[in-house]
Amino acid sequence: MSRSQLRSTQLTKQDDDITDDLREILTGLGKSQKAISSKFFYDERGSRLFDQICDLPEYYLTRTELSILREHVVEMADRIGPQASLIEFGSGSSLKIRILLENLDQLAAYVPVDISRDYLVMAADDIARDFPEVEVLPVAADFTYPFDLPDPVVTPVRNVVYFPGSTIGNFSHTAAHDLLRVMHHEAGNNGALLIGIDLQKDKEIIEAAYNDSAGVTAEFNLNILRRINREFGADFKLDDFRHRAIYSEASGRIEMYLISSCDQIVTIAGYNFAISAGESILTEHSHKYTTEGFVAMAARAGFRLEKHWSDSGKMFAVLYFLRD
């Protein structure tokens, strides 16, 4: 018996997942700028490669966010106050959540929300084992849509949505705003949001973080084709694609591509796609923000900034908002 209980699971996108995914992939490859959603990165191998990315010397994001957390967690916990319910969007890096859990006072509950049920239950059990005084209530749901929160035994003073890792960077500005609205809904009255964002900075630094010299990000990017070959019966030849990440200063985002090195035809589920030499498949956008820019977007979604913390190099920021 797992110590944490999986409570709520109503969200729509469970059935027909395979066909929805296949349809999405076919649609993306049919566009003039071919694209595959970054959500397909994270199979088992992809998740392992992402963990390796987080340790790369060029990938400053994880390391910097952790250092900000470690330095300011006491003040963060102070502002959050006692008996909060911590709702993590995406059950991600257990290191970050552990730093918070170790410092929060009389937490009412820890509620990790993730679409991947197996991963979620595993991660939640680990936390429940190491924090026996915390009620861990995982929710299997697609957090881009509103979901029902479980009822902790102890009534929370406030719900605090936690979204670390600059994961919001994967969303377009419109989608990020919509996600902030869901967070606003889940935070409820007296609620709050603690969120990590990667800041705009020199193009060279950002591009190096996504074009690492060890080639791990290239492996991570190519793995999306490997996965589509395996799960959707495609015949991508990985050797015929090269990884490239470009920072667009105009858009304030990293654009990650797989570039075809020859004219080729790829078949997926009986559909053929011609890809010419030099043509690219877009696999990821990773938006970088200014603190002011993000604060303005959050304000439109009903959050007002209470406090923000950054590192000395102004590489990354952790923002604490109260819900209007």
| Residue in 65, 114, 186, 284 binding ligand AVJ, rule: CB under 6 A | 284
Query: Under the criterion CB under 6 A, does residue 208 sit at the interface with ligand AVJ?
Result: no
Give least dist CB 284 to ligand AVJ, A: 5
Give least dist CB 41 to ligand AVJ, A: 7
Distance CA 161, CA 84 (A): 10
Task: Please identify, among the stretches 165-173, 226-234, 259-267, 273-281, the one whose residues bind ligand AVJ according to the rule CB under 6 A.
Answer: 165-173
Query: Under the criterion CB under 6 A, does residue 36 sit at the interface with ligand AVJ?
Result: no
Distance CA 288, CA 294 (A): 9
Distance CA 271, CA 267 (A): 5
Query: Under the criterion CB under 6 A, does residue 165 sit at the interface with ligand AVJ?
Result: yes
The helix/strand count (H/E) of the chain reads as 9, 13
Query: Under the criterion CB under 6 A, does residue 164 sit at the interface with ligand AVJ?
Result: no
3-class SS shares of the chain: helix, strand, coil, % to 5 = 40, 25, 35
Give least dist CB 190 to ligand AVJ, A: 29
Query: Under the criterion CB under 6 A, does residue 260 sit at the interface with ligand AVJ?
Result: no
Annotate each residue in 216-245 with x if it binds ligand AVJ (CB under 6 A) or - if it does not, as one string.
-x----------------------------
182: CB partners within 8 A, 6+ apart: 143, 144, 145, 146
Contact 157, 190 (CB under 8 A): yes
Backbone angles phi, psi at 158, to 5 degrees: -155, 155
> What residues make contact with ligand AVJ under the rule CB under 6 A?
53, 61, 165-167, 169-170, 210, 217, 284, 286
